[in-house]
Amino acid sequence: MLLSFLVTTPLARSSQQSRIIGLDIARGLAIIGMITAHIGPFGFLGAKNPTDGYPSALFAVLAGVSMSIMASGGLKRGGKAISISRKQLILRGVLLTGLAICLGLVQQSIAVVLFEISLTFMLLWWMPAVRTRWQITTVALLLLGSSVMALLSFPEQPYPLIGWVAYGAVGALLHRTFIHTQPRIHLGVGLIGIAVAVLGLWVRVGDEDPATKTHLWLASTAPHSGGVFDLFFSLGAALGVLGLSLYISHNPRVLLRPLQAMGSMALTAYLVHILSAGPLLDHEVAQYNKEQEQLYHAGAPQVPGKTDAELYSHPLLWVGTIGGLLVFAPLWKQRFRRGPAEWAMYRSIEAIVPRSPKE
C-alpha cells in the first residue's frame, strides 16, 4: 500500500511543473552513489569500490547544470534581473561554503564535497551569458588545467579544485547543448557514457594503478586525481547517468517517483547522510585506533589491521539511509515544494538578495 502510494502519487504540482524530471533522477542516483562510496558494502565483501569518484563528479556536473538553469532565468527577464540572479548565485556559493565548513567541524571521516560545488556558483556565474564557443573553450582550459595541476601537485586530495570546477563548467555547457535535445540523443550519449564508465571500472579494478607514480600522475586513472583519464572516465559516467536519466524521464510509466523526489531535495539528502554517518564513523575510527594502540603497548602479536573499506563499511546503515530517504522524500514533496534544506537555502538567499517585486 505504502509502496504503491510512493510510486504513483504525483509530487506537489508547483514543484512538478518547474522541474526537469531527468535531472532529479540523476541527482537521486548521485546521492545513492555517494552514500555507497562512503558506507557501502564493499568492505564487507572484502573489495574496494571501483566506482569511487564517479558519484561526486556527477554531483558536480549536475551543480553546473543547476547553476546555468538559475542564471538563465535572470537572462531571459533581462535588466535588473540579470544582476540579481548573479548576486544570488554567488551568495548560494558562499552559503554552501559555510555549510561545508560546518559539516567539516562536526565530523572528519567523510570528505565533504560542498566546498568544491560552491566554487561553480561563485566562479562560473558568467558562463550562461557567453557564446557556446567560449563555454567550450572554458571547459577545455579547465580540464587541461586540472590535468597539469595533477602533475605538479601530486596528489591533490580529496577533490582537485580545478577538476571539480571543470565538472561544473561541463554541466553549464550541457544545459545549453544537451539537456533539451531529443530522447534518442539522450539515449545514445547515455549508452556511450556508460561504456566509457565501464571501461574505467575495468582499468581501475587492477590491484595497482600504473599511472599513480609521480611522473605519470597527469594520466592517472585513480579516483579524485584530476588526471586526464580520471576526468575522462568520470565525465563518461556522468554523461551516461545523465543521458539515461533524461531518456527514461520521457516515459512516465518507468519513472521511479521516490528517486525523483529524493533528487529534487538532494541537498537535504546529502546533509542527512553526512550528519548520520559522519559522527558514527568518527567514533568507530577513534575506537579502533585506541584498541590498536592498546594492543601495541601491551606487546600483543601484530595482526593485519582493517582496511579503510572494511572500517567504513556499514551495510545496515547504507540500506537504512537509502531506504529511509526514498520513503521520506516523496512523502515530504507531496506536501511541500522544496526540501527542508532547500527551503532554508531559498529563504536565506531571498532575505539577503531579494528579487524585484515584479518577479
Positive or negative torsion for Cα 87, 89, 90, 95:
positive
- pLDDT score of 241: 97
The more confident residue out of 327 and 216 is 327
Query: Residue 246 — φ and ψ, nearest 5°?
Result: -65, -35
What the block records as the C-alpha cell of 193 is 557514457
Listed in sequence order, the DSSP H helices in the chain are 2-8, 13-17, 21-39, 54-77, 80-106, 114-123, 132-152, 161-177, 183-204, 228-248, 257-264, 266-297, 308-312, 315-335, 340-352
- pLDDT score of 214: 44
Angstrom distance (rounded) from CA 73 to CA 54: 29
- CA angle centred on 120, ends 328 and 116, rounded to 5°: 70
Angstrom distance (rounded) from CA 353 to CA 5: 38
Mapping DSSP to helix (H, G, I), strand (E, B) and coil, where does residue 337 land?
Answer: coil
- pLDDT score of 300: 60
Neighbours of 207 (CB within 10 A): 5
What the block records as the C-alpha cell of 25 is 533522477
Contact 198, 209 (CB under 8 A): no
- pLDDT-wise least confident of 47-56, 202-211, 256-265: 202-211
What the block records as the C-alpha cell of 121 is 556558483
Residue matched to cell numbers 533524461: 246
- pLDDT interval class at 25 (50, 70, 90): very high
Digit-coded pLDDT (tens) for 53-77 = 899 999 999 999 999 999 998 888 8
Percent of the chain exceeding pLDDT 90 equals 60
Neighbours of 271 (CB within 10 A): 18
Provide the residue type at 335 as one letter.
Answer: R
The more confident residue out of 136 and 48 is 136
Angstrom distance (rounded) from CA 307 to CA 156: 22
Q: What is the mean pLDDT of residues 164-172?
A: 96
Digit-coded pLDDT (tens) for 180-204 = 999 999 999 999 999 999 988 888 7
- pLDDT score of 172: 97
Digit-coded pLDDT (tens) for 288-329 = 777 667 666 666 665 556 666 667 888 899 999 999 999 999
Angstrom distance (rounded) from CA 21 to CA 17: 9
Task: Supply the mean pLDDT for the chain.
Answer: 84
Contact 285, 308 (CB under 8 A): no
Residue 12 has pLDDT above 60, yes or no: no
Residue 335: which residues within 8 A CB-CB, separation 6 or more? 12
Radius of gyration in angstroms for the set of CA atoms belonging to the chain, rounded to a whole number: 21
What the block records as the C-alpha cell of 3 is 509502496
Digit-coded pLDDT (tens) for 229-256 = 889 999 999 999 999 999 999 875 545 8
Q: What is the mean pLDDT of residues 219-235?
A: 81
Digit-coded pLDDT (tens) for 128-160 = 999 999 999 999 999 999 888 877 765 556 788
